[in-house]
């Protein structure tokens, strides 16, 4: 039986824990949950998802069970600091270094230490999966690594932040000024109380760094991205774009060595021109030409990406055991 731990029992952690109840028959058991207060060891008789009310968490480091060898697969779902990578970076580094497979949705650790973590996983012979970090449930990395293997990615462009896309959509279709569209997004729970990481383009820039490092084999940092957010986008600018059959979108792009995030004019009938909180990513490929993926970039759909990573690890372990 593969023993799984989840650090970060918040929005994603709770949905994932429920889903993992179905995996006991597949040889995976949820053994540990952790939050900012500490951790909880689950005995096999407690079905995850039915743990309400939650017993008290043991006020100790969630790494304790990892150090005691009680966890084979660790899922890290903590709030992320994109400048330090913490707290996820320490959890991931420690787990990989002890030969534990890791799945995460945290951007910070990948933005700060992509090469270090992927090299560590490789040297330890374990899996490090992060499909959920960019585009929520949209299968970007698995698609690129499997189905696009025979082609060459020339460039990538994407609308990678649902909050700013919602705001720009409301400005375009309802003529709202930015501050009112932002207030609306906050009231709907789509924008944080401090929305600066989204509005200033930093969240999109983090995703561009992860895409570049993971898919184009470079070693980029946040400082390598030329970033301009949507703070200066006015209703008049959107109206002028509209009159030309276009709109303004916050577009992240990777072209050659150049990484950027900026508000750009996009034709209303262009595949990349998605509205509301949707995300879109466009690959320009050597043989196939353009390929655009569209989907929900956050929310419950993100759990689809987490489960896809977990499935990949289960299959790999079965293969290594000679079971397939
Ligand atoms: N939500 C989405 O749609 C989405 C999509 C893609 C990526 N992500 C990323 O996935 C991660 C998790 O998102 P979420 O929405 O599930 O977050 P969330 O609801 O805020 O939950 C975060 C969890 O992490 C715990 N935590 C905070 N600091 C910790 C620490 N130092 N050690 C251990 N646990 C700690 C919190 O504990 P308490 O409960 O004690 O506060 C909480 O249980 C974030 O990095 C986010 O950016 C989220």
Give residue-wise pLDDT tens across range 214-225: 999 999 999 999
pLDDT surpassing 90 at residue 51: no
Please indicate, yes or no, whether residues 119 and 253 belong to a single structural domain of this protein: no
Residue with CA closest to ligand 1 atom 1: 299
Kindly report, residue by residue over 241-287, the tens digit of the pLDDT.
999 999 999 999 999 999 999 999 999 999 999 999 999 999 999 99
| Residues 286 and 292 sit within 8 Å (Cβ to Cβ) | no
Please indicate, yes or no, whether residues 126 and 163 belong to a single structural domain of this protein: no
Give me the active site residues, please.
207
Whole-number average pLDDT of the chain: 94
Task: Give the distance (Å) from ligand 1 centre to CA of residue 8.
Answer: 5
Least confident of 173-177, 189-193, 210-214, 224-228: 189-193
Please indicate, yes or no, whether residues 9 and 69 belong to a single structural domain of this protein: yes
Q: How many domains does the chain have?
A: 2
Residues at CB less than 6 angstroms from ligand 1: 7-13, 34-37, 62, 77-80, 87, 105-106, 132, 136, 298-299, 302
Please indicate, yes or no, whether residues 176 and 116 belong to a single structural domain of this protein: no
CATH (domain of 123)? 3.40.50.720
Please indicate, yes or no, whether residues 132 and 145 belong to a single structural domain of this protein: no
pTM recorded for the entire structure: 0.96
Please indicate, yes or no, whether residues 7 and 67 belong to a single structural domain of this protein: yes
DSSP code per residue over 189-246: TSS-SS-HHHHTTHHHHHHHHHHHHHHH-----GGGEEE--STT--HHHHHHHHHTTE
Kindly report, residue by residue over 99-158, the tens digit of the pLDDT.
999 999 999 999 999 999 999 999 999 999 999 999 999 999 999 999 999 999 999 999
Please indicate, yes or no, whether residues 98 and 8 belong to a single structural domain of this protein: yes
Q: For a pLDDT cut of 70, what percent of the chain falls above it? A: 96
What pLDDT was estimated at residue 181? 97
Q: Which domain holds residue 224?
A: 141-296
């Amino acid at each position: 039986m593969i023993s799984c731990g989840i650090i970060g029992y918040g929005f994603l952690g709770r949905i994932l824990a429920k889903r993992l109840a179905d995996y006991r028959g597949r040889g995976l058991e949820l053994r540990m949950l952790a939050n900012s207060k500490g951790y909880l060891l689950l005995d096999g008789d407690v079905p995850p998802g039915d743990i309400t009310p939650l017993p008290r968490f043991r006020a100790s480091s969630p790494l304790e069970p990892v150090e005691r060898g009680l966890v084979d697969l660790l899922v890290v779902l903590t709030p992320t600091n994109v400048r330090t990578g913490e707290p996820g970076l320490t959890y991931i580094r420690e787990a990989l270094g002890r030969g534990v497979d890791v799945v995460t949705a945290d951007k910070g650790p990948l933005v700060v230490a992509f090469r270090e973590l992927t090299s560590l996983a490789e040297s330890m012979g374990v899996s490090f999966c992060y499909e959920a970090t960019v585009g929520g449930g949209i299968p970007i990395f698995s698609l690129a690594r499997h189905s696009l293997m025979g082609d060459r990615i020339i460039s990538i462009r994407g609308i990678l932040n649902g909050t700013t896309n919602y705001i720009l959509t409301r400005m375009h279709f309802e003529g709202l000024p930015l501050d009112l569209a932002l207030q609306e997004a906050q009231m709907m729970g789509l924008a944080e109380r401090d929305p600066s990481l989204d509005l200033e383009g930093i969240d999109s820039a983090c995703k561009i760094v992860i895409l570049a490092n993971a898919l184009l084999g470079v070693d980029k940092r946040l400082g390598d991205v030329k970033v301009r957010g949507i703070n200066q986008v006015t209703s008049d600018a959107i109206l002028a774009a509209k009159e030309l059959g276009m709109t303004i979108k916050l577009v992240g792009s990777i072209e050659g060595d150049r990484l950027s995030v900026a508000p750009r004019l996009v034709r209303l009938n262009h595949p990349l021109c998605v509205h509301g909180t949707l995300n879109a990513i466009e690959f320009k490929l050597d043989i196939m030409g353009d390929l655009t993926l569209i989907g929900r970039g956050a929310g419950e759909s993100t759990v689809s990406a987490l489960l896809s990573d977990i499935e990949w690890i289960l299959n790999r372990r079965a293969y290594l055991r000679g079971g397939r």
